[in-house]
Structure 1
Amino acid sequence: MLEQILGLIQQNSQAAIVQNPAIPNENNNDVMQTLLGAITGGLQDHAQNGNMQGVMGLLSGHGSGNGMMNNPIVASIAGNAISSMMQRFGLSNDAASGIVGSVLPGVLSGLVSKVSNPNDSSLDFNDLLGGLTGGNSAQSQGSGLDFNQIGYALADGKLDMSDLMRVGGSMMGGGNNTSPAPQQGGGMDLGGLLGGLLGGK
């Protein structure tokens, strides 16, 4: 997961970091690593502290495009990245904000593209969300919850009954866990998650 995200940062950093006179060349990689830490740390914080719905909404492309920086999760990631850059590299608020504003939307859009594309095997929902919650794809499957099914269901920007049937099938009959409440194994309120996706904005 980290390698793929760092690759996206490198792809989107040529003008904002590599060619930026405010950043000495020897600091380029450190600035990129600072961004990487802010992105993964921010997503992990939200995923592990009850906002899995928001993380999944972001990674499925909700609020992408020009409005992405207004997403609360993205705003918190941006704030942490700006603060870290100012402290570590002595950048002004304007300079750090300019870097983050130039790089972060492209990185997150690339991440959304990877996890929502069934033909791109470099990074999927199981791998990404398993990493964010401290588990792995095997643990995700063991809990009966197939993040890939949810990711593909959300890829078109809506969740309908056929999508729910696919997700439900992966939970109820797709694994060896026969527990009546498999979502508890993953520390996730699936009812609240699906309710929010169906009824929330």
Structure 2
Amino acid sequence: MLEQLTQLIQQSGLQSVINNPEVPNEHNDGVIAEAQNTILSTFSQLQANGETQQVNEALESADHPVTQNIQQNFAGNIMEKFGINGSTAASIAAVLIPTVLNAMKGGQQGGGAGNGFNIQDILSSLGGGNLAGGLGNLGGGNIQNTINNIGGKFGLDKDGDGDVDLNDLTKMFR
């Protein structure tokens, strides 16, 4: 299911990221991965707090505070990690994040993306629960494995211990 989300983001990011001369080609994959990470971490945090209705609402509106939060976090992250200038990062986020969330909504309803994409499966892979209000259990489960896998592929495991955690974050700023 996470592979489908990655493909969705890659397809949605073709113009705003991959064909964007302001994004160096060597950072394309990293920017795409950051979009996925930002969306998943926001949704998993909402799920962990029992706010799964916020996920539904974010999928419905580009003006929703959760959607705006995802855009701001994503823009800040790609500015910091990849040196993309502020206006370009904001522009990428303003196009990519609402496009992806809208496609996720379409897949959730059985249409839109046309590939069987299901937000409930994503939330379940993050540790259980569903859009009807299930809380799930994120206690170090699937989301950490996902972060480790994605982070490892992009060189975020700075201390070489096989996981991406606070120790790696501290080493990034030394």
Check whether TM > 0.5.
yes
The Cα of 1:95 is off from its aligned counterpart by 1.0
- Give 1 or 2: higher helix fraction: 1
TM-score, normalising length: structure 1? 0.59
Distance 1:39 1:47 in 2: 12
For the Cα contact (< 8 Å) 2:78–2:89, is it kept in 1? yes
Structure 2 gap ranges (5+): 137-174
Letter in 1 for 2:18: V
Letter in 2 for 1:115: Q
Structure 1 gap ranges (5+): 141-145, 151-182, 189-201
For the Cα contact (< 8 Å) 2:58–2:65, is it kept in 1? no
**Partner secondary structure for residue 30 of structure 1:** helix
Match runs of 1:61-100 below 5 Å: 62-63=60-61, 68=62, 70-100=63-93
Does residue 124 of structure 1 match 2:124? no
Q: Identity of aligned pairs, percent?
A: 28
The Cα of 1:129 is off from its aligned counterpart by 2.5
For the Cα contact (< 8 Å) 1:18–1:28, is it kept in 2? yes
Distance 2:17 2:37 in 1: 16
The Cα of 1:125 is off from its aligned counterpart by 4.7
Residue 96 of structure 2, aligned match among 103, 106, 116: 103
Runs ≥4 residues deviating over 4 A? 118-121
Matched with 2:25 is 25
The alpha-carbon distance between structure 1 residues 125 and 36, as it changes in their structure 2 partners (threshold 3 A), is closer
Distance 1:80 1:33 in 2: 13
The Cα of 1:39 is off from its aligned counterpart by 0.8
Q: Which has the larger radius of gyration?
A: 1
Aligned residues: 135
What value does the CA root-mean-square deviation take over the aligned residues? Answer: 2.4
